Amino acid sequence: MEGVALDAAVPRLEGFVGRKAELARLRQCADAARASKPQLVLILGEPGIGKSALLRRHIVELDDFQLLRAACDATEADAAYGVISQLVARITPAEAKTFPLFSEPLPETAAPFQVGAQLLGVLGHLQNDSPLAIVIDDLQWADSESIQALGFALRRLWADRVLVILSARSGTPGHGHDPELWQRLASGPEHTRFLLRGLDRDEVAQLAGESGGDPFNPVTVDRIHQRTGGHPLYVRTVLADVSATTQHLPGPADTLPVPHVLSDVVQQQLGRLPEPSQRLAEAMAVLDQRSPLVMAGAVAGVKDPVEVLEPLLSLGLAQWWPSEMDTPVQTYHQMQRDAIYERIAPKRRRNLHLKAAELAQGAAKWRHLVAAADGVDERLAAELEEQAERASATGNVQSASTYLLWASGLSASEADRERRVAMSAACLLWGFAPGRAKPLRPTVEACSPSPLRDCVLGRYAMNRGQFAESKQLMTSAFHESDGTASLERVALLAASGLGIVHLWQGHGEDIFKVAQRVLTSDRIDPLADLEARLALGFGYLFTQGPHEAAAQITHIMNLPQDPGDAAPSHAPALMWRGVWRTLAGELRGGSRDLSVALRLAREHAVSMLDEKGHAYLATAQYLMGLWDDALINAANGVTIALHEERSWAYCQTHMAASLVASGRGEWKRAREHIRQSERWWEACGPAEYVVWPALSTATLAQAETDYPGMLRALQPVLDLPEHGWRSALESWWRPLHAEALIGSGRLDEAEHALHRIRELTSQTPYLHLISSGLSGWYAHKRGDFDAARASFEEGLSPSVQEDALMHRAFLEHALGRLLMDTKSQDDAVNYLSSARDRYATVRARRFVERCEADLAHCGSWSDDGAQDILASLTQRERHVARLVGKGWTNQEVARELYVSSKTIEYHLSNVFAKLQLTSRRQLMRLLTP
């Protein structure tokens, strides 16, 4: 809300002059937003240059816009999603049912893309009746989580009536995050950026004229402009000081109170005020945030704070919100606050902070106690450490980290200082906030060698994808701390971290050892518990296979059998159960687990590796023949991995995105995804992750009928140890390898590969199809036509429950070719046509062409089985059409595609126009098989 001044306040301090060019540009941006062309304006300038005044002036003209506002504060930069919480504060209880994430305080552990995705829903909803303006002031103090969430949303505005205006200090990197992070917001909608400079001489004269009374002497105006550089806050402060100290207009000979430093003017102003007003100003500076007037008065020790406040308002040193219930006050500008705070004597400053601590609550109380501390205070440091333990136990890892940093600065010994700063970083690293932990890394590296230091640096190395270094550091930390009571927590953190390292590297037996160490401890750390339980599931995956892993994680995490009964807290384990069921060949069941887990995580901001879930789901959908759905999930996986900077997931998400492109003959797109997959594996992936670029390259070679190329692509997988990721993903790569061997004529080697596939089929039901197809093709190549036909017919028997379109189409095509060679032309045509039609449903162009060539060899006329009814649509329009064709609402489609509902409306209107449709029902009929 905007500040409201007392009637006694001098109106000139809220005056606005000049800025005609900037206002004109803002009006142009507003007009574009009204026309569904989203706009972003970034206003930069030094402190006090008039950024906030320009915002207030322009907002007056946005009377036809709905307004979402947020004001950032340096004292709240550690509060995750504080800015987003301000923006969505207007969500009503009824709307909260649609946006459950915003119905209660946002969890610190929510991923920025999850918050950004629901923010997109809010933006789409609020545009229904009028355009929307988002105004954020002092962006340099915004928490990094809000910036990332906002960036995710803004980059997905397409045809939205949204105007975003941001102000930030120029040359200020912000608080606790990447100096360029907030500037990345301008990579979203069409953006305008300008730097505010000082007022010119005429504008200073205008501002002086609005101060009341007769115009200032022109010479005086020149002197004010020259000495202040036209800095608006500086000018206003001087004008207020002149009016307060003189009864006449200054002439050429008069001495103006215009020292070179603004803080000198503020301190001179304060020195001439009544003593109670000075005390109140000092109390406001100490509180350093909007605070109830009564509270400010109590800290200052004044009886009538309203009366004492009036001189501060007259001079423009304070702002007051009397219409609000607790009538809060605050220093008018941060520069003035800093000047007042510097003026307070150390002893009085300490007493004011102690008084504020008595009245404050939560983090503010501890902040004042820390500010009041005079050097080392081990008692307070211990209390802060206890407070950090409580915050960490409830999931408030960022608050815990802040308390530990404060405690570190108050520690009596160097050992305690280093221990607390390292634990501060550990809270963030194990609490899924690596971005917040990044600035602490140099400090931790400078600490003396210790098991805790090694443990924390090992986690930093893991996040950078440097798994060998991570394993070495965490192994050292574990061995040096295990068995020592005082280092029990370090041992548990190191064990859980080692579990993740072994997970990436596929070392199942090692996972069991460290996970059991964590889970059998009677002092289990909440930061390590979930990681250890999930790692244990991976231990079963690598030692006993995906079927057993899925069964064990159901027991370990107490998962319901029906994913529809799962709670939000089940989402991470449910996702991995879906992964393992998919690898075990339960494509439908695994896909449902994955879909429900992703929905729960998205709606309730549950921390998990969503990009992995999308990638595995896309691969399962590729095999099932749901290629349009696979494209959507693959794109979502890439989007999330890149936005969250999860480098360990890049190679897999790009692999998933390459599959459909290869199958459809979109060679350029497929090769670009493969290139990205290889690049990220080479840069930061563990050696075992070569399976992802290998799968993508082999699939492309399969589409190109390049069997030697398939073998070359898969050789790095064969070079891996037999256990680990090679065995976990065998149901995906082994059929490709067997096909490549048969196609290359290496039949003796193919026999061994087929034997292994038959062994896998007992626990991986959908492999029955491809096992029969490949065995039949192998027998055909050997010239044993009877065995080949028997194998094919076995695969086509009704007893096969699990289906995979690509495997079934391959089998039918291979059977059709066999029948061609045995002169059963009619039967051959039937199977070749069926295979062609299956491939055509997913627009697998190259596979369709092969079937068409064989049909032509049989003398069969070919209808246009591969015709694409959506050929005229762009890829995004195709995605929208497919989802709307399933009966989804615009809001549901928007949530799935991570865009706003307005964007869906825009694309859907294009779909209707291109397909000559007038209703959703017509689209559903068109797309229903």
- Over residues 254-286, the pLDDT tens digits come to 444 444 467 777 888 888 889 999 999 999 999
By DSSP bridging, strand 291-292 and strand 132-137 are unpaired
**Does the pLDDT value for residue 348 go beyond 90?**
yes
* 418 or 57, higher pLDDT: 418
Q: What is the pLDDT of residue 251?
A: 44
Q: Cα–Cα distance between 862 and 851 in angstroms, integer?
A: 10
Phi, psi of 694 (to 5 degrees): -65, -45
- The CATH number of residue 916's host domain is 1.10.10.10
By DSSP bridging, strand 291-292 and strand 328-331 are antiparallel
Q: What are residue 41's DSSP bridge partners?
A: 165, 192
675 Cβ contact list (under 8 Å, min separation 6) = none
User: pLDDT of 687-729, one tens digit each?
Assistant: 778 899 999 999 999 999 999 999 999 999 999 888 888 888 9
CB 83 within 8 A of CB 72: yes
Per DSSP, which regions of 235-355 are E strands? 291-292, 318-320, 328-331
- 169-178, 259-268, 896-905 — which is least confidently predicted? 169-178
Q: What is the pLDDT of residue 232?
A: 80
* 801 or 191, higher pLDDT: 191
Q: What is the pLDDT of residue 274?
A: 92
Q: How far is CA 884 from CA 620, 644, 896, 902, 907, in A?
A: 22, 29, 11, 14, 11
Residues 81-92 have a mean pLDDT of 86
Q: Which of 85-94, 136-145, 782-791 has the highest mean pLDDT?
A: 782-791
> Environment class of residue 414 by beta-carbon count within 10 Å: exposed (0-12), middle (13-18) or buried (19+)?
exposed
Q: What are residue 319's DSSP bridge partners?
A: 330
User: pLDDT of 638-659, one tens digit each?
Assistant: 988 888 777 778 889 999 999 9
Q: What is the pLDDT of residue 523?
A: 72
**Does the pLDDT value for residue 111 go beyond 80?**
yes
Of 367, 468, 462, 351, residue with least CA distance to 410: 367
Q: Cα–Cα distance between 878 and 246 in angstroms, integer?
A: 73
Query: What DSSP line would sit under 106-142, residue for residue?
Result: PPTTS-HHHHHHHHHHHHHHHTTTS-EEEEEE-GGGS
- 4-8, 51-55, 61-65, 532-536 — which is least confidently predicted? 4-8
Q: Cα–Cα distance between 525 and 852 in angstroms, integer?
A: 61
Residues 751-764 have a mean pLDDT of 89
CB 782 within 8 A of CB 747: yes
**Does the pLDDT value for residue 185 go beyond 80?**
no
Residue 717 within any structural domain of the chain: no
Q: Which residue has the tokens 């004044």?
A: 302
Q: End-to-end distance of the chain based on CA atoms, in angstroms?
A: 54
Q: Cα–Cα distance between 660 and 621 in angstroms, integer?
A: 10
Query: What DSSP line would sit under 344-411, residue for residue?
Result: S-HHHHHHHHHHHHHH--HHHHHHHHHHH--S--HHHHHHHHHHHHHHHHTT-HHHHHHHHHHHHHH-
Residue 347: count of CB within 10 angstroms of its CB = 9
Q: What is the pLDDT of residue 217?
A: 73
Question: Could you say which DSSP state residue 9 is in?
Answer: S
**Does the pLDDT value for residue 317 go beyond 90?**
no
CA dihedral (508, 511, 513, 514) in degrees, to 10, reads: 170
Q: Which residue has the tokens 């400090």?
A: 443
Q: What is the pLDDT of residue 497?
A: 87
> Environment class of residue 483 by beta-carbon count within 10 Å: exposed (0-12), middle (13-18) or buried (19+)?
exposed
CB 324 within 8 A of CB 1: yes
Residue 243 within any structural domain of the chain: no
Q: What is the token pair recorded at 91?
A: 């969500």
Q: What is the token pair recorded at 706?
A: 């390049």
**Does the pLDDT value for residue 905 go beyond 70?**
yes
Residues 623-633 have a mean pLDDT of 90
Q: What is the pLDDT of residue 12?
A: 35
| 3-class SS of residue 80 | coil
Residues 429-444 have a mean pLDDT of 85
Residues 424-439 have a mean pLDDT of 85
Q: Cα–Cα distance between 338 and 74 in angstroms, integer?
A: 12
Residue 43 within any structural domain of the chain: yes
CB 237 within 8 A of CB 262: yes
Q: Cα–Cα distance between 341 and 319 in angstroms, integer?
A: 17
Crossing angle for the helix pair 293-300 and 275-287, nearest 10 degrees?
110
Residues 123-148 have a mean pLDDT of 88
Average pLDDT, the chain: 85
Q: What is the pLDDT of residue 126?
A: 87
By DSSP bridging, strand 132-137 and strand 66-71 are parallel
CB 678 within 8 A of CB 651: yes
Residue 795 within any structural domain of the chain: no
Q: What is the token pair recorded at 666?
A: 């979109």
Residue 436 within any structural domain of the chain: no
Give residue 620's identity as a one-letter amino acid code.
A
* 446 or 682, higher pLDDT: 446
**Does the pLDDT value for residue 242 go beyond 70?**
no
CB 739 within 8 A of CB 729: no
**Does the pLDDT value for residue 7 go beyond 70?**
no
Q: How far is CA 335 from CA 285, 338, 340, 585, 700, in A?
A: 10, 5, 9, 64, 61
Q: What is the pLDDT of residue 172?
A: 52
Q: How many domains does the chain have?
A: 3
**Residue after which a domain boundary falls, among 512, 544, 576:** 544
Q: What is the pLDDT of residue 442?
A: 94
Of 26, 58, 56, residue with least CA distance to 40: 26
**Residue after which a domain boundary falls, among 143, 178, 198:** 198
Q: Which domain holds residue 460?
A: 450-544
Q: What is the pLDDT of residue 433?
A: 77
- The CATH number of residue 497's host domain is 1.25.40
Of 918, 928, 785, residue with least CA distance to 869: 928
- Percent share of the chain, pLDDT over 70: 90
Q: What is the pLDDT of residue 566?
A: 94
CB 168 within 8 A of CB 42: yes
Q: What is the pLDDT of residue 380?
A: 95
Q: Cα–Cα distance between 102 and 169 in angstroms, integer?
A: 29
**Does the pLDDT value for residue 377 go beyond 60?**
yes
- The CATH number of residue 53's host domain is 3.40.50.300
Residue 58 within any structural domain of the chain: yes
Residue 176: count of CB within 10 angstroms of its CB = 17
Q: What is the pLDDT of residue 32?
A: 93
Residue 567: count of CB within 10 angstroms of its CB = 12
Q: What is the pLDDT of residue 515?
A: 86
- Element at 332 (helix H, strand E): none
Q: Cα–Cα distance between 414 and 436 in angstroms, integer?
A: 24
**Does the pLDDT value for residue 300 go beyond 60?**
yes
**Residue after which a domain boundary falls, among 495, 518, 544:** 544
Residue 583 within any structural domain of the chain: no
* Ramachandran bin of 490, using left for φ above 0, alpha for ψ from -120 to 50, beta for the remaining angles: alpha
Q: pLDDT band at residue 565, thresholds of 50, 70 and 90?
A: very high
**Does the pLDDT value for residue 237 go beyond 80?**
no
Residue 630 within any structural domain of the chain: no
Q: What is the token pair recorded at 501?
A: 């390292």
User: pLDDT of 492-526, one tens digit each?
Assistant: 889 888 888 888 788 888 898 888 888 888 776 66
Alpha-helical runs (H) found in 464-586: 467-481, 488-505, 508-519, 526-544, 546-556, 571-583
Q: Cα–Cα distance between 236 and 226 in angstroms, integer?
A: 14
The three-state DSSP-derived secondary structure of 63-78 is CCCEEEEEECCHHHCC
Q: Cα–Cα distance between 549 and 912 in angstroms, integer?
A: 46
456 Cβ contact list (under 8 Å, min separation 6) = 422, 425, 426, 429, 444
**Does the pLDDT value for residue 30 go beyond 90?**
yes
